[in-house]
Amino acid sequence: MNSSTTSNDKNVPSDLQKQISIIYKREPEKRIFVNRTVRLEKIQFFGFDMDYTLAVYKSPTMEAETFKLVVKYLIQIGYPSEIADIEYDPMFSIRGLWFDIQYGNLLKVDGFGNILRASHGRRFLLWKEIEDFYPNKFIQLSERRIYVLNTLFNLPDAYLITRLVDFFDKYEKTPDKTGVRYGDVIMSYNAIFQDIRNAMDYVHGEISVGQLKHKILERIADFVEIDDRIGLMLSQLRALGRKTFLLTNSDYEYTKAVMTYLLGSEWRTFFDMIIVSACKPLWFAEGTVFREVDTETGALKIGVPTDPLKKTGAVYSGGSCDAFRRLVKVRGKNVLYIGDHIFGDVLRSKKTKGWRTFLVVPELSRELAVWTGKRELFERLQQFESQLADLYRHSDANTLDKPSDAVVGNVLKAIQEVTQARDQQYGVFGSLFRRRAWSQQMSKAPTGSMEEEEEESGTAGAGSCSTGNASTPTNASSSRPEEGGVDTDESNEDLLTNNGGGGSGVSISGITRPRAGTTDQLTNDVVVPKQAYVEGSNQQ
């Protein structure tokens, strides 16, 4: 039935008109949010990332194991053995936080660089303390100073950083507040952070005893979700004449083990082409050497393949998007790539190659659960904000009278109280998704008092989640960039719009920034909460 049929059509019976007026929507956790129209009949190639897309890792089991291995490595390189007692807390950190390498602070930042919340270790800073570190409560993104913790793999990093800052802050601070004096040495926050990053690189390295991949493959059922719908979906796509390919940064041996667990020993037959060790996002730029992989030995063959689609399930290593396009002879608009990574999977593929993109957002399930379960809080916020707007409705440049300070203060206080009640549903850093800077800056830090923060800010109150419309959660996104910092140029783009309506849209705190005139070109085509597979068209 065509959902565009209007209820005032005289040829449609009245009882049927009521049915037509109700738009079908799936349960929130199964929805596919469409930012731009995607005509699937025009898509010739369906590409998939592996980690956190086809292979969904179990949380918090995955993060807790990573955390434990990183702590073990740090002790091996000389860190105090007492840190072995630290246990991972999955409720503390969220993706999109910024770590200030200079001062050791963890920041929640909006899309314009305004600091919404800040913690030093697990202690949240009062607004006066924030202004001491960051005048005007603003910070500019800089690769030298800021590391954006914007991947699911970064969740253990974020929590370990806070715990080590707490641990070393027991000692004397350096005069410039950039570290502590630990015995006869100076431990800067920068050095602590670099040690954690090196430890993470080691833990995520090759498959060897004691490292994360070895642990995963030893007990793969404990770490990876299995879903029979994956094979069904891939088979249906191929039965309809579409091409499927796997594009992952994981090496062949690890990919083979995980995909065999998910799809069986014949896993390669589900794909027309498999590319491992892709080195995204470099793959979408100059790329690396393109070689075929010997599926028996895992070794690379010499030479460059001339017809990679000639045999189903052939495995290749490296290469680039340009080489891929020339070999398979497909236009970017006819490719839909499904991944969980804003920079590595979505932004680069869309901005530089024109691919259509399908973003998997695991956290969106929780956000939607809060939205549906605590909807009355969002509705009350909208009511209070409407009241605040009504107080200034007839004000203009000639208006001399202003609303009563007491009345305005009461409304702002009510907004703050409801906002705090809502934020408690998410965690200590609040919602993953961006909020309006004016309202969020009055969010109460867990260790501060309302009166102190109101005095520092000059006003009281906190507003609702800025999702294009105060009462409607729209499309949301997350990311998993490749190892390293953040692409400062790409990070200035706002990837998401309010269904292409030109509104403020939604972005992950601290990950994306809007730039006028570019949202339509860079918007994600499709966003889903988690491992959702298309069972029909026009999903709402």
Residue (of 407, 400, 350) closest to 384 by Cα position: 407
d(CA 470, CA 206): 46
pLDDT tens digits, residue range 219-248?
999 999 999 999 999 999 999 999 999 999
Measure the CA–CA gap between 436 and 439, rounded to whole angstroms.
6
What tens digit of pLDDT does each residue of 479-515 get?
333 333 333 333 332 223 222 233 333 334 444 333 3
Domain 45-56+225-329 belongs in CATH node 2.30.40.10: no
- Residue 522 is predicted with a pLDDT of 35
State the angle between helix axes of 364-373 and 375-391 in degrees (0 to 180), rounded to the nearest 10. 70
Residues in the chain: 540
Q: How many percent of the chain have pLDDT more than 70?
A: 75
Please indicate whether residue 424 or residue 512 has the higher confidence score (pLDDT): 424
Secondary structure of residue 393 in the 3-state scheme: coil
- Tell me how far apart the alpha carbons of residues 317 and 301 are, in angstroms, rounded to a whole number: 10
Between CA 277 and CA 279, with CA 527 as vertex, the angle to 5 degrees is: 15
Place of tokens 């990919």: 255
- The residue type of 427 is G
Active site residue 176: no
What mean pLDDT, rounded, does the chain reach? 79
Task: Check: CB of residue 377 under 8 Å from CB of residue 370.
Answer: no
Out of 15, 49, 169, 184, pick the active-site residue. 49
Q: Where are the alpha helices (DSSP H) in 29-188?
A: 61-76, 127-133, 155-168
Task: Return the pLDDT at 447.
Answer: 34
512 phi and psi angles, rounded to 5 deg: -120, 150
Cα 347 to chain centroid distance, Å, stands at: 12
Q: Which of 51, 272, 345, 423 is catalytic?
A: 51
Q: What is the mean pLDDT of residues 340-348?
A: 73
Distance CA 391, CA 474 (A): 28
pLDDT tens string 144-191: 999 999 889 999 999 999 999 999 999 999 999 999 999 899 999 999
pLDDT value at residue 32 = 85
Question: Which candidate, 412, 418, 404, places its Cα nearest to that of 387?
Answer: 412
What pLDDT sits at residue 34?
87
Peptide bond preceding 135 in cis form (omega within 30 of 0): no
CA distance 376 to 388: 18
487: tokens are 């692409």
Listed in sequence order, the residues at least 6 apart from 198 whose beta carbon sits closer than 8 Å to its beta carbon are: none
Exposure string for 438-453, b = 16+ CB within 10 A, e = fewer? ebbbbbbbeebeeeeb
**Domain locations in the chain as residue ranges:** 45-56+225-329, 61-218
Whole-structure pTM value: 0.77
Yes or no: say if 142 and 98 are a contact pair by the CB < 8 Å rule: no
Tell me if 143 sits within 8 A of 481, measured CB to CB.
Answer: no
Give me the sign of the Cα torsion angle 228, 256, 67, 490: negative
Based on the residue annotation, tell me whether 132 is a catalytic residue of this protein: no
Cα–Cα distance for residue pair 300/318, rounded to 1 Å: 10
